[in-house]
Structure 1
């Protein structure tokens, strides 16, 4: 008598693929085929049947045809709107398909840096002061804030440091206007003028749901130290040449590391995030870590992602870290493997 054939659970792997040719920074957040291959392998290690589903015009049809029980979604979304990261999660929610990561509301809020800053501040979580200019007239109204303090000028809803360059930190209002004009004309969205915190930059990777834990904390600095260092688009593209990555605990006091952990957990819960997120801090002159950005859809590239670097610095096998994240999401969605 033949043994019954093992039934495996069908899952989707949804993503946006880099174009393979220079596209400005339009597909900066998209993934390489090597990352997709890696994630396919990790999902398959759970005994799942993986269907690759690029977020293109065939996605809806593929979801209906393959009927996945779960989707591991890393798609950043199409277009330039602040709702783009919410596109796939909202589609999956509409089709009642459980998925990895935070829902469309959380992704929409966190992509909008002004909304995120406002929500965190309202909940008592330290953030820098922030002002918005949706046109040059609004920018002119901010002149009185320039009293010798530095500011950083950046787009309201971008990721992967898009729109943040080495010259985005400004001391004068004239320079602020120039950078704001660049954002308004090139990115077609409001410019944010944010208090620039000159202290250490640290990114904290958090995983979990009801119970949260820290994967690791990584200090990010320039190999040629500068009090105007920013983790800019140029620096991210040339990270192997320009950037020094260190365990935060090697140089940052334990009390500050504890505060970052507590604030990262508080932000994760305040925004109702799921499974994993990366929370970025700058530490001010009083030793207070202030949240400058939150990424609930962090890159998982085995070649260049921050979570890969964090894992390496903390002597963790990145493959095992990714499998832990997958398992966390499967448990939350009650997918039994």
Structure 2
């Protein structure tokens, strides 16, 4: 008997509202999914003909494992050789740690801002200037401003107005404040890049990966220009010239994010080439974003890589970029799953509409 059988997709998520109800702060939960995001993802996947099985927070995941339903879990997916969307566990862990990511990028010749890392074990009373002196970028880091942030957070969590550092005493105080707020986590110190900032969305894996499009985070409120005009950056612009926890997550619509196009600008061409090279160098899969910021001389540098980007319709940069380039949320989710299926040739016969023997 021949039957058509849709692919079953377990959807793993952790709900913002659930963890808020458990007493966690909004900052603690900022990276978690809003209910409307979860609903939209489920709806878009089902519109593509997939059967979706939502799996909630870690407690529900543990219950699934206890019942022998290991096919519903991502930390165990690779151990059980279960096909999954997004990059493998090693890549996800690497990209989560911005300091270690920068080490790999540096080794592979991908430009990233000069940096030093304050280890979680660094004695709080010890002079940070000693650590800067030990860095291979000691000379670069002598020149202010610098920028500090937790090494392993996203959604601008741990980035505050004091993150931009103008002198060594502010650096000591800022690192101490971050260490108190994020105990057990290393702190990243970087040379502050004074140029424009971009985020490039990428779809696919390896040689088949392609750029969907790029957003320019224009703090001055003007479209990016070529030459010296492109390099002008006002420190008094919205948010101090960078995304912090508050201005990224609490005042949508007030920033000057705008789409830019490679055919219109050699600057954007360079940004997108760098983003794609970074994506391939780190062997990321399926879909994600690369955040890039230019130095005062206009040269682009990688800030970080997000291999599990937000998918909230009309909010997340990836979803906005895709929509601007003609991809609805349903089309985007379908394309992501198609990219994953290409990595699992044994699943080709299970694509929607393909007959299977039962």
TM range (shorter): 0.7 to 0.9
8 Å contact kept, 1:154–1:192: yes
Shift of 1:297: 0.5
Match of 1:178 among 173, 178, 184: 173
Shift of 1:140: 3.4
Match of 2:109 among 124, 147, 152: 124
8 Å contact kept, 1:247–1:314: no
8 Å contact kept, 1:130–1:192: yes
Residue number in structure 2 paired with 1:272: 283
Higher relative CO (CA 8 A, sep ≥ 6), structure 1 or 2? 2
Residue number in structure 2 paired with 1:249: 261
| RMSD of aligned Cα (Å) | 2.5
Deviations 1:36-59, CA, capped at 9 Å, x for gaps = 111112222232221110132231
Residue number in structure 2 paired with 1:83: none
Shift of 1:255: 2.4
CA distance in 2, matches of 1:253, 1:149: 33
Shift of 1:141: 1.2
Structure with higher Rg: it is 2
8 Å contact kept, 1:222–1:242: no
Mapping for residues 51-200 of structure 1, pairs under 5 Å: 51-62=53-64, 68=71, 89-134=74-119, 135=122, 136=124, 137=126, 139-142=128-131, 147-188=142-183, 189-200=185-196
Alpha-carbon distance change, 131 to 278 in structure 1, aligned in 2, over 3 angstroms: same
> SS of the counterpart of 2:16?
coil
> SS of the counterpart of 1:152?
strand
- Structure 2 unaligned regions, length at least 5: 222-232, 353-358
CA distance in 2, matches of 1:285, 1:140: 24
CA distance in 2, matches of 1:167, 1:285: 21
CA distance in 2, matches of 1:160, 1:33: 17
8 Å contact kept, 1:282–1:291: yes
Shift of 1:5: 6.4
Deviations 1:240-276, CA, capped at 9 Å, x for gaps = 25311112339x9732222222221221121111001
Residue number in structure 1 paired with 2:204: 208
Q: Mean Cα displacement is larger for which, 33-42 or 122-131? A: 33-42
8 Å contact kept, 2:70–2:76: no
> SS of the counterpart of 1:292?
strand
Residue number in structure 1 paired with 2:25: 23
Residue number in structure 2 paired with 1:85: none
> SS of the counterpart of 1:26?
coil
State how many pairs are aligned: 316
Shift of 1:315: 4.8
CA distance in 1, matches of 2:341, 2:253: 38
